[in-house]
Amino acid sequence: MRPLWLCWALWALPLAGPGAALTEERVLGSLLRQLRLSEAPVLDGADVERLIIPAHVRAQYVALLQRSHGARSRGKRFSQNFREVAGRFLVSEVSSHLLVFDMEQRLPPHSELVQAVLRLFQEPVPKAALRSHERLFPRSDRARVTVQWLHVRDDGSNRTSLIDSRLVSIHESGWKALDVTDAVNFWQQLRRPRQSLLLQVSVQREHLGPLASSAHTLVRFASQGPSGAGQREPQLELHTLDLRDYGAQGNCDPKAPATEGTRCCRREVYIDLQGMKWAENWVLEPPGFLAYECVGTCQQPPEPLTFKWPFLGPRQCIASETTSLPMIVSIPEGGKPRPQVVSLPNMRVQKCSCASDGAPVPRKLEP
């Protein structure tokens, strides 16, 4: 029997880093967490041999097994390339703007989006308007800029999703950057390359209430600057990575051993539960399973590109998609074992990718 302190340590043990090899301790720790146990139960072999798994328990296990092949958990992703898309003000009012971007063929094939940045030019506020505002609101000089993705449904109805929101000062002017990565991800999930990307930008009060500052009325975004200043239309920067160079290669070659020069790939790993002492008389199904692991290395971006994202770590070979592992275990109840179905999350690797620690996970578009 394992020492009690070790079992508690395994219960609290977090999952290893993505792509790490699945170990006996990880499987046991996950099973203890799901069942809220401090240690593996010790069961009498004779009682377990006489145990009959009811049909409804078997059906539940099979249903989870089938579902695990379709339901995948996505991990982090990252990319490195850059292109710029010019947009235009489709509708522009004092504190609200509707921007449209033609996205057809803007994202190259075999690429992955890491970041989309919306750049808007904030016009300088006239000095007379600034002096008037400072007399009325001497301590308030900021406004909130909010970006929403506008989705026009097939039936003609609209829906919006909050993308980014931040404060700007009325004393500043020039280009302002907002992160609209989620909006481009949502647009990609529609799978309609000819449909334009619509972004709704609004300028609002920093605080609510009848005495709130009116600084938001002084924030203006221009489509064209003063004479000689050049075009200042909204810009959409798309940062992507060519996965043919910087991505994983899929499954490993079973005939070639993994070395330091092996490109990131998914390698088969069989977990033999029958050979684990703690699983004896406890884990009824399955006797073992293919877990897979991510091995190999990832190509790093050149130094000039790395400098643009200093908060991201080196690119690593990680498990970007995983599935759960259903199990049937015997639980002591009233002196006799009772079969129970449990599902262990993130036990089997479905896909390996190259990613940097810190890259965000894209949101899923809700219906």
Whether residue 367 has a cis bond before it, omega within 30° of 0: no
Distance of CA 287 to the CA centre of its chain: 33
Q: What is the C-alpha radius of gyration for the chain, rounded to an integer number of angstroms?
A: 28
State the DSSP H helix or E strand holding residue 245, giving kind and residue range, or none if neither. Answer: helix 243-246
Give the pLDDT confidence score for residue 183 in this predicted structure: 93
**C-beta of residue 130 within 8 angstroms of C-beta of residue 170:** yes
The mean pLDDT value for 90-106 works out to: 75
The domain defined by 4-77+245-356 carries CATH number 1.10.3720.10:
no
Q: In the structure encoding, which two tokens stand for residue 308, read together?
A: 């643009």
First vs last C-alpha separation in the chain: 50
Q: Does the pLDDT of residue 82 top 50, yes or no?
A: no
Residues forming a β-bridge with 179: 117
* Mean predicted lDDT score pLDDT of the chain: 78
Q: Which pLDDT tens digit goes with each residue over 167-213?
A: 988 888 888 989 998 999 899 888 887 889 999 999 888 877 666 67
Q: Which pLDDT tens digit goes with each residue over 212-263?
A: 677 778 888 876 444 444 567 888 988 887 888 888 888 998 888 877 788 9
Residue type, 46: A
Q: In the structure encoding, which two tokens stand for residue 105, read together?
A: 């063929």
Give the pLDDT confidence score for residue 69 in this predicted structure: 65
Using DSSP's 3-state secondary structure scheme, residue 326 falls into strand
Q: Does the pLDDT of residue 155 top 60, yes or no?
A: yes
Q: Which long-range contacts (CB under 8 A, 24 or more apart) does 87-96 make?
A: 87/199, 87/233, 87/234, 87/235, 87/236, 88/223, 88/233, 88/234, 89/223, 89/233, 89/234, 90/198, 92/223, 94/217, 95/202, 95/203, 95/204, 95/216, 95/217, 95/219, 96/200, 96/201, 96/202, 96/203
Calpha distance 115→79 (Å, rounded): 8
Q: Where are the domains of the chain?
A: 4-77+245-356, 88-233
pTM of the model: 0.60
Percent of the chain residues topping a pLDDT of 90? 10
